[in-house]
Amino acid sequence: MERRVVVTGMGALTPLGNDVASTWCGIKEGRSGIGPISRFDASNLPSQIAGELRDFDPRSVLDTKQARRMDRFQQIAYAAAVQALHDSGYEITPENADRIGVVMGSGIGGLQTLSEQFKVLHERGPSRISPFLITMMVVDLAPGLISILLGAKGPNFSTVSACSTGAHAVGEAAEVIRVGQADVMIAGGSEAGIVEIGLAGFCSMRALSTRNDEPERASRPFDAERDGFVMAEGAGALILEEYEHAKARGATIYAEIAGYGSTADASHITDPAPGGEGAARAMEMAIADSGLSKDRIGYINAHGTSTVVGDEAETEAIKSVFGDRAHDVPVSSTKSMTGHLLGAAGAVESIISILALREGFLPPTINYEHPDPKMDLDYVPNQGRSKELDAVMSNSFGFGGHNVSLIFTRAE
């Protein structure tokens, strides 16, 4: 009998707030977390806006020495993991440590540290490079440090699949539990790429919105006047647990991970496959894995980045999967409020999807002002609304043709 996987803890830091409660409050209010970039002078860049974390102090969870030896993406990954573990009420002990693992991903990793150390190299020479450059830069040190600091000795690795990273982490961590290699997993994603070189690279690709005069209205998924995504930073972490293990300790069970689908477009380095073919296969795979009928899916938290080709392809994929019923399934993009958290997006949006399921609330797609004639689904425009939900789907698609779909249900 296959082991069931449930979610028993959640933690998040986003442009809407540095915990799950404040983030969810912002989502329900339809509030934008986007503003002018304050981390550096962005006046020479085409895109000068982002979704930044506000008032995050790493010393709230780390001592000064630890914080100095960690890149920002690692600091917030650890902060989210601590929140999630505390929320779960689970304690890691020497007796259970080898049954607890960590899968924490990032799309870019320690870009801030790398950028700073390049400057040191060119201005002061190689002898002045930090001995912590490599450990602060590489993606796998996010789960590595979480493991070291919390004492989790089970399976430990990273996922790196661009904007699908966080969703891949959740899906793969669930698989670890399903096959019996662990009882509890800390899973999620983290990103801190609001660095000049990062913005410049995405600007060069013409991937970012340049609506600098109206930052709060810049991220507008599915709107006819969308002009690119808005960079954001943040982290999301979930405590995944084998169902009987969670039940035995009387844990609060937020949701069950019922389905996981993962595919590749094998098409283009940035653009989705024509018609969203790869995305559609991921959704079909997740539905088949869940064993649910399609009419049980009551809400889709879309990848919806606010790019011209991406939003259209996802709409086409949803139509191909759900057929005539596609127009009856509410679809919204919370990136309209948070911006695009890249490698953290899938984890944060899993949390948002779970809260939508639990509270029976459909998050809005804000800034939806001009319907695109090519896209005619119910995008929950501008105002969230109540709806009793049985199962929800969360989509994440990334550069390189990575596609992930997750399905969450109430734990029966």
Residues that are catalytic: 163, 303, 340
Task: Choose among 306, 351, 406: nearest CA to 10.
Answer: 351
* Strand (E) or helix (H) holding 393: strand 391-398
d(CA 158, CA 104): 5
Burial (CB < 10 A; 0-12, 13-18, 19+), residue 187, is: buried
Sign of the dihedral through C-alpha 274, 277, 282, 283: positive
d(CA 12, CA 338): 12
- Given a contact cutoff of 8 angstroms between Cβ atoms, the answer to whether 207 and 201 are in contact is no
| β-bridge pairing 49-50 and 35-36 | antiparallel
d(CA 90, CA 55): 28
- Given a contact cutoff of 8 angstroms between Cβ atoms, the answer to whether 351 and 80 are in contact is no
